[in-house]
Amino acid sequence: MEHLSYEERLRELGLFSLEKRRLWGDLIGAYEKDGDKLFNRACCNRTRGNGFKLKEGRFRLDRRKKFFTVRVVRHWNRLPREVVDAPSLETFKVRLDGALSNLIELKMSLLIAGGEGLVSHVMVGGCLGQSDHEMIDFLILEGVRRGLCKTATLDFQRADFGLFRRLVDRVPWEAALKGKGVQEGWTFFKEEVLKAQERAVPMCRKTSWQGRRRAWLNRELWLQLRKKRRVCNLWKKGQASQEDYKGVVRLCREKIRRAKAELELNLATAVKDNKKYFFEYISSKRRAKENLQPLVDGGGNTVTKDEEKAEVPNAFFASVFNSRANCSLGTQPPELEDRDGDQNGAPIIQGEMVSDLLHHLDIHKSMGPDEIHLRVLKELEEVLTKPLSIIYQ
């Protein structure tokens, strides 16, 4: 058997690895040393699992993890009640065989149900102690899984607004919009703008909350945190003093407080210009996320879906333009009776008015159902004033 590897020799002899055999011995030793006052029992009796859980102590150095009284506590607390309450050592060994075998079967069932690529080096060994179950040795492939958000958004950092203006300016707006109504003209305008947007503004995946950097974390503070981690590792190895580590920790804590205070001050100062960023920061501080409660539409029906909830206020605000309004067409409010009778005529839309509205748009607001972002309208103010003025004439 000299030419065989370590795993193959274990399989031929029907043995577990040294690490698992050491765990087996540690659990038996913990049962034998129960009355020697080596362990402290957990004070809480309302614990899940067995009724004799051991207390996990806190320690400063990593070398304490290798001590017998530390490394066996977590495995002991996971044992079922019938194993810990065994009346004798022989009974404890038999029940321990069954508990470990059931644990292996549970892990294998979870891994098989989880999919491929999770387990490697699977080996079937002999029996575990006095149990009739066969041993299975395997390695769990623990890879870092990063959740990717599937929501796509416009990437304005890589946008080419020069190309965007040229594409929109090439469209013959006067000839294309001639003889079309407001709805038809707006549909044509939206299609042309979205076509140019696909070529000039790339898309990117929206960053999820887990992968986002802290709002107060700048590069200087990030480098300081890396230095703190480096000094901590040196202190654990004995290459740095505790005073040096405490000084770095104190400096990092003070810089983090200043960065948070500066961020909140900037948010409060710019709340009028960027309300979306302010309320986004406030919402991130909430512990519970609450959705909008069910609404009741005009017909008295309860609405629960998000799409239907959005239509309820739209229908309410649009109701002022229908025939069910309180003020009929033949009557006028008292403050309008003395005015000229041409107030019901079509408004005159001038290019200066459209340009002024586009210039004062808030680019931090979300885009509407037409999928045209407000920043696009503001950046293309010069070339979009003409077609919008023609549409609403």
Pair 31, 168 in one domain: no
Query: By the 8 A CB rule, do 94 and 82 touch?
Result: no
Pair 224, 271 in one domain: yes
Confirm whether pTM is higher than 0.85: no
Provide the pLDDT for residue 253.
92
Residue 138, SS3 per DSSP? strand
The answer to whether residue 45 is domain-embedded is yes
Pair 27, 172 in one domain: no
- CA–CA distance, 126 with 119 (Å, rounded to integer): 20
Query: By the 8 A CB rule, do 270 and 253 touch?
Result: no
Provide the pLDDT for residue 329.
44
Query: By the 8 A CB rule, do 156 and 200 touch?
Result: no
pLDDT-derived band at 67 (thresholds 50, 70, 90) equals confident
What is the DSSP-derived secondary structure letter of residue 54? B
- CA–CA distance, 51 with 386 (Å, rounded to integer): 79
Pair 53, 119 in one domain: yes
Pair 160, 123 in one domain: no
Q: Which one, of 198, 169, 209, lies nearest residue 387 by Cα?
A: 169
Of 120, 140, 160, the residue that ends a domain is: 140
Residue type, 163: L
How many H helices and E strands in the chain?
A: 16, 6
- Domain of 173 in residue numbering reads as 152-208+295-320+347-391
Query: At residue 150, does pLDDT exceed 70?
Result: no
The answer to whether residue 135 is domain-embedded is yes
- CA–CA distance, 291 with 275 (Å, rounded to integer): 20
The answer to whether residue 98 is domain-embedded is yes
Query: By the 8 A CB rule, do 16 and 10 touch?
Result: yes
The answer to whether residue 23 is domain-embedded is yes
Query: By the 8 A CB rule, do 235 and 245 touch?
Result: yes
The answer to whether residue 122 is domain-embedded is yes
**Range 19-29 average pLDDT:** 80
Length of the chain in residues, anyone?
Answer: 393
What is the phi/psi pair of residue 203, to 5°? -105, 155
**Range 305-324 average pLDDT:** 74
Distance of CA 235 to the CA centre of its chain: 34
Pair 262, 302 in one domain: no
Distance of CA 78 to the CA centre of its chain: 31
Which comes out higher in pLDDT, residue 303 or 290? 303
| Both tokens assigned to 136 | 């299975």
Pair 28, 134 in one domain: yes
Question: What is each CA distance from 260 to 13, 23, 32, 213, 367, in whole angstroms?
Answer: 61, 47, 54, 13, 30
The answer to whether residue 146 is domain-embedded is no
User: Among 22-31, 62-71, 339-348, which range has the highest average pLDDT?
Assistant: 22-31
| Both tokens assigned to 226 | 């890396």
The answer to whether residue 108 is domain-embedded is yes
Pair 239, 127 in one domain: no
- Which of 67-76, 281-290, 325-334, 354-363 has the weakest average pLDDT? 325-334
Total count of domains within the chain? 3
- CA–CA distance, 118 with 248 (Å, rounded to integer): 40
Of 115, 140, 165, the residue that ends a domain is: 140
Of 140, 163, 195, the residue that ends a domain is: 140
Query: At residue 168, does pLDDT exceed 70?
Result: yes
For the chain, the farthest-separated pair of C-alpha atoms sits apart, in whole angstroms, at 111
- CA–CA distance, 283 with 274 (Å, rounded to integer): 15
Provide the pLDDT for residue 255.
92
Question: To which H or E segment does residue 128 belong?
Answer: none
- CA–CA distance, 291 with 294 (Å, rounded to integer): 9
Looking at every residue in the chain, the average pLDDT score rounds to 76
Query: By the 8 A CB rule, do 387 and 182 touch?
Result: no
Sign of the dihedral through C-alpha 280, 284, 285, 287: positive
pLDDT one-digit tens code per residue, 331-341: 555 554 555 55
Residue 72's Cβ-count burial label (10 Å; 0-12, 13-18, 19+) is buried
| Both tokens assigned to 367 | 């885009």
Q: Could you identify the residue written with the tokens 């899940």?
A: 48
Q: Residue 189, Cβ neighbours under 10 Å: how many?
A: 23
Pair 19, 135 in one domain: yes
Provide the pLDDT for residue 98.
74
pLDDT-derived band at 109 (thresholds 50, 70, 90) equals low
pLDDT one-digit tens code per residue, 195-239: 999 999 998 877 654 456 777 888 889 899 999 999 988 988 888
Which residues 6+ apart lie within 8 Å of 59 measured at CB? 65, 70
| Both tokens assigned to 49 | 């699992």
What is the DSSP-derived secondary structure letter of residue 172? -
The answer to whether residue 307 is domain-embedded is yes
pLDDT-derived band at 257 (thresholds 50, 70, 90) equals very high
Pair 26, 114 in one domain: yes
| Both tokens assigned to 379 | 């950046």
Provide the pLDDT for residue 252.
92
pLDDT-derived band at 327 (thresholds 50, 70, 90) equals very low
The HSE-up count of residue 142 (CA atoms within 13 Å, CB side) is 3
- CA–CA distance, 7 with 15 (Å, rounded to integer): 10
Pair 20, 100 in one domain: yes
Provide the pLDDT for residue 101.
63
Pair 228, 250 in one domain: yes
